[in-house]
Amino acid sequence: MALVRPRSRILCASNCVTKALFRAHLVVLGFVVCLASQTADSKGAYATNGESGHYDDWFSTLGVYDSSSKRSLQPLLTLLQTQVIDAEANNSNPTPLRKKLQEDWKLTFGPKNHRVLFHWGFNQDIKRYKPLLKEIDDQFKANLKFFEEKFRKEGKQGGLNDYLDEQRSAVLECINEERARRNRLIITETATRTGLSGGQPSRGFATILWDIHVLGDYTTPATNGLLDAKGLRRDLISAGLERMDFERSDIKSLCDALYEAEQNEPKIAAAKMMVALGQYLPSLLTKRWGNTLGKQGIVITANQ
């Protein structure tokens, strides 16, 4: 029997859901416009509280409310949060990737521009990801003297422009190798913590978790580098929901809501996508994966 707690029977869970949806509707109805002019420390709906806000987003959107279930899921979310998506935001402990990009190409990444790295979703072809390409080009131009000197020291054949193209390709290959490593970590951890094995379901769930983080980041003033609304909608449906073995008829309402949300300006689109996920995803997870998640100690509170 699936470990499901109907919301109508658990007052605490009901209050949590109500507060989460109410908070999200404030964003949709215009509160998000105010957030755009506030500082990064402002507190409002979703991830504006920083790291803790992302955890709140994940738990409320998935329908995870009791403390035991949260503890079961926490290691996966912490890995995704601190070692994958926002790893480059930590100035006190720069990642090996940040160090290599700085040492080999004088590329600097940190709190101000970390979102061009790993805020592209789980499935992105980063060699075509425009925010990342623009950041690399801008830093190459700013550090042109460094590359001219590097070109002379290495004594490469051909012209400087060819050399710069070669170096850009090397940078992307370096980042892509690290992306592949982190993706493997997430796939393994997702299967371990949720019981969603067999490849596609774990990838689908990882995709959804990753995109929820990005959606939350749209409530902050600095949105440069984030996967856009169209990309998020496509990722959530094609690489997320459709990989999780849900019945197509069951996901239709959620897919329709995501398409509708996409039509708005980015911040409101993101807020509406988050609301749609919170409305439909818990029931989907309960119906298809309630038993599997329950065996891992993760109880889903289905919306009724």
> Average pLDDT for residues 105-120, to the nearest whole number?
93
Higher pLDDT, 17 or 183: 183
Closest among 218, 224, 295 to 264, alpha carbons compared:
218
Contact predicate 176/120, CB 8 Å: no
Task: Render pLDDT for 272-284 as a digit per residue (tens, 0 to 9).
Answer: 999 999 999 999 9
Q: Does the structure show a pLDDT above 60 at 50?
A: no
Sequence-distant (≥ 6) Cβ neighbours of residue 4 within 8 angstroms: 286, 290, 294, 299, 300, 301, 302
User: Is residue 38, in this structure, part of any structural domain at all?
Assistant: yes
User: Is residue 273, in this structure, part of any structural domain at all?
Assistant: yes
**Whole-prediction pTM:** 0.83
- Number of structural domains (the chain) is 1
Give CA angle at 285 (283, 288), nearest 5°: 105
Tokens in use for 21? 């949806």
Contact predicate 175/167, CB 8 Å: no
Residue-level pLDDT at 26: 39
User: Is residue 155, in this structure, part of any structural domain at all?
Assistant: yes
User: Is residue 1, in this structure, part of any structural domain at all?
Assistant: no
Of the pLDDT bands very low, low, confident and very high (cuts 50, 70, 90), residue 243 is very high
Tokens in use for 284? 């989907």
User: Is residue 252, in this structure, part of any structural domain at all?
Assistant: yes
Q: Using the 8-state DSSP alphabet, how is residue 22 labeled?
A: H
Residue-level pLDDT at 155: 84
User: Is residue 2, in this structure, part of any structural domain at all?
Assistant: no
User: Is residue 301, in this structure, part of any structural domain at all?
Assistant: no
User: Is residue 300, in this structure, part of any structural domain at all?
Assistant: no
Contact predicate 131/224, CB 8 Å: yes
Cα 115 from chain centre: 10
Least confident range from 15-24, 196-205, 266-275: namely 15-24
Residue-level pLDDT at 115: 94
Domain residue limits at 74: 7-295
